[in-house]
Amino acid sequence: MVRPGDSSAQVVSVLDRAEIDALFPGDLPEVEHWERQYPPRQLAPGAQVTRFCPSPTGSLHLGGVFVAMLDRAVARQSGGTYLIRIEDTDQEREVAGAVDEFDRAFAHFDLVSDERDGAADGDGGAGASAGAYGPYLQSARSRIYLSYVRELMRAGAAYPCFASKEELTAFAEEQRAVKVPTGYYGRWAPWRDADAEAVRARLAAGEPYVVRFRSPGEAAGRVSYTDVIRGTISADDNRNDVVILKSSANELRLPTYHFAHAVDDHLMRVNLVIRGDEWISSVPVHHQLFDAAGFERIPYAHVAPLMKQDGKAKRKLSKRKDPEASVEYYVSGGYPTDALWFYLRSLANGRLADLPIEQALAEPLRLEECGVAGPLVDLVKLADVAADLVATMSGEAILAEVLAWAQVYDTELAAAVAANRDVALRALDIERVGVANPRKDLHKWSDFRQVYGYFFPGVFEPVTNPADPRLGELPAEVVRGLATDFLRDYQHVNDSDAWFEQIRVAALANGFAGSPKEYKADKASFVGSTKEAAQVFRVLLTGSNRSPAFNLVTQALGETETRRRIGAVLDQG
């Protein structure tokens, strides 16, 4: 509420109270109603109430998750509250489905708000107990904002402005021509001190208007404030009479971000705002709005943006240019959540990078350790972190994560794995269990198809063509002969040397040299060496010329499937 003695309270409105009140719904509550409905929280000393406020004008940026991570950590560490507020006042640019995408991302990354909507309108309601400071959707809070806009207008701290888009464009062009900051101030603010009769005439004619804040800022004025991350910041004071309530021509009267966030943070009793550093330049006007409304100022912590290496230069991670800027990139790619958390936390507080993942995830995040230069997002490092994490997981844990991911993003793989759980677990044990240096070729769950997909009959396509180029361009009859002789005496043994001996016997029977050295000495006498023969069986079993040891692969597949795959090349006439 505007308090007597505030600089804004010294201005007399050009309209009287009755005329101002007539611009608003007759049943609009006074601001005291909202102050009572949203009383100060009962908090323990030092408890922080933070908020993350995405706008549904596009997909969620990784930087948003970064800020939300800080919000949640600071709130939870202090015994406070972390909440999410959807800032949807820019309804012309709202993207359909964006809020649902946010909800999925928040759930995926365990960033769900501590408070939920229980009421559908700005008057609260019986269902509001789920979140006593909601609604948490700005478009559902329009009546709240109107009460505070009306109060500012009554005090002369805000006024109606009828300037057209064309006039505003002309003002800006003139300002650029004389090399002064653009904005609505001074002689370019004709409705700031307009004659009362001119205002009444426009209102009587039904002309649309916006409501502007009457800035108390002065030319050449400077202000300073303390940023939680950056320390003391000095800036030019705000002179611009910003719009606080959008056009009266709109059916739903909504405020701009500047005013909405001030009202919401006050009534939701937020006591620390963590946000991107693009808002630093707006702090002077935000402080003016808080002061004019009689709200206690809230500390700001402005976070540096995530960066990307682009050649020799660094730039901001961009949703328009960089797929990895979108949160969906990590969700659909199946990056392990803990790996991404560890990586983002280490970007925020560098001391965590050298800790074991489990310890780093449990350590507190400290805003004072966040740098003022944007941290660099390096997908190679993230992949290494993820591989290290996956290497420590049990087969059962990996399988559960893969299935959860695949049921959404690769249903064919999900069905194949679910139908062959035992195969999957045996495959995951290969070169991971009982070895000093477990394999680290699985970085994200979407890699599973490429790395392990050949183990599953529902995914793997048997090689049926003996002339398949992957078989080393050997004559078709040689490939068939190898497969026939091998299967005739095949023993399903779990010993690397014994298994390879079976390849060697079949190879010698079909014109292969016993070793690469022997083949190299007399190539005309052989079709290849046992090395080339082994590659035939590797391709028949896995579809690739690289794989773990034969005995390990075939023990995971089982004897029946092993015979089926090798014999498939004999099925083509």
pLDDT digits (tens, 9 = 90+) for 99-142: 988 999 999 999 999 998 864 444 433 333 368 999 999 999 99
Query: Could you give the 3-state DSSP secondary structure of residue 211?
Result: strand
Cis peptide before 462 (omega within 30 of 0): no
Residue-wise pLDDT tens digits, 510-538:
999 999 999 999 999 999 999 999 999 99
Q: Which of 36-40, 277-281, 318-322 is the least confident region?
A: 318-322
Residue with tokens 């779990």: 494
Residue 69 Cα distances to 41, 183, 530, angstroms: 22, 35, 56
What pLDDT is stored for residue 128 in this prediction? 31
Give the pLDDT confidence score for residue 120 in this predicted structure. 43
Average pLDDT over residues 372-399: 96
Q: Which two tokens stand for residue 183?
A: 């904005």
What integer pLDDT is reported at residue 127 of this predicted model? 32
Cα–Cα distances in angstroms (integers) from residue 81 to residues 7, 63, 349, 391, 451, in the given order? 34, 21, 22, 35, 42
Range name among 88-102, 284-298, 397-411 with the lowest pLDDT average: 88-102
Domains, the chain, with CATH or none: 307-389 (1.10.1160.10), 393-451 (no CATH), 469-568 (1.10.10.350)
- pLDDT given for residue 140 in this prediction: 94
Nearest to 547 by CA among 461, 466, 441, 472: 441
Tell me the two tokens of residue 349. Answer: 């507080």
Query: Do the bridges between strand 273-276 and strand 243-245 make them parallel or antiparallel, or are there none, so unpaired?
Result: unpaired
Percent of the chain with pLDDT over 90: 88
Beta bridge partners of residue 224, listed in sequence order: 234
Q: What is the DSSP letter of 568?
A: G
Name 359's Cβ contacts closer than 8 Å, sequence gap at least 6.
Answer: none
pLDDT value at residue 11: 63
Six-digit token pair at 215? Answer: 């800035």
The Cα–Cα gap between 96 and 495 comes to 58
The region, left, alpha or beta by phi > 0 then psi within -120 to 50, assigned to residue 81 is: beta
User: Tell me, what's the pLDDT at 13?
Assistant: 77
Report the C-alpha gap between 222 and 187 in whole angstroms.
Answer: 21
The reported pLDDT for the residue numbered 396 is 97
Confidence of residue 12 (pLDDT cuts 50, 70, 90): low
Instruction: Give residue 220's pLDDT.
Output: 74
Q: Running DSSP on this structure, what letter comes out for residue 38?
A: S
pTM: predicted TM-score of the whole model, two decimal places:
0.88
Mean local confidence (pLDDT), 215-221? 85
Find, among 427, 395, 420, 417, the residue nearest to 556 by Cα. 427
Tell me the C-alpha distance between 10 and 32, whole Å. 21
Tell me what pLDDT residue 10 has: 54
Inform me whether the pLDDT recorded for 2 exceeds 90.
no
CB atoms within 10 A of CB 82: 22
Averaged pLDDT score across all residues of the chain: 93
Average pLDDT in the 59-69 region?
A: 95
Residue 4's pLDDT band (boundaries 50, 70, 90)?
very low
- Residues composing the chain: 573
Give the pLDDT confidence score for residue 572 in this predicted structure.
Answer: 67
Task: Give the mean model confidence (pLDDT) for residues 410-425.
Answer: 96
Average pLDDT over residues 497-514: 96
Distance between CA atoms of residues 334 and 409, nearest Å: 9
Tell me: the pLDDT tens digits for 238-292? 999 999 999 999 988 999 999 999 999 999 999 999 999 999 999 999 999 999 9
Confidence of residue 94 (pLDDT cuts 50, 70, 90): confident
**Has residue 301 got a pLDDT over 80?**
yes
pLDDT at 573 over 60: no
pLDDT at res. 90:
87
pLDDT, one tens digit per residue, over 170-192 is 999 999 999 999 999 999 999 99
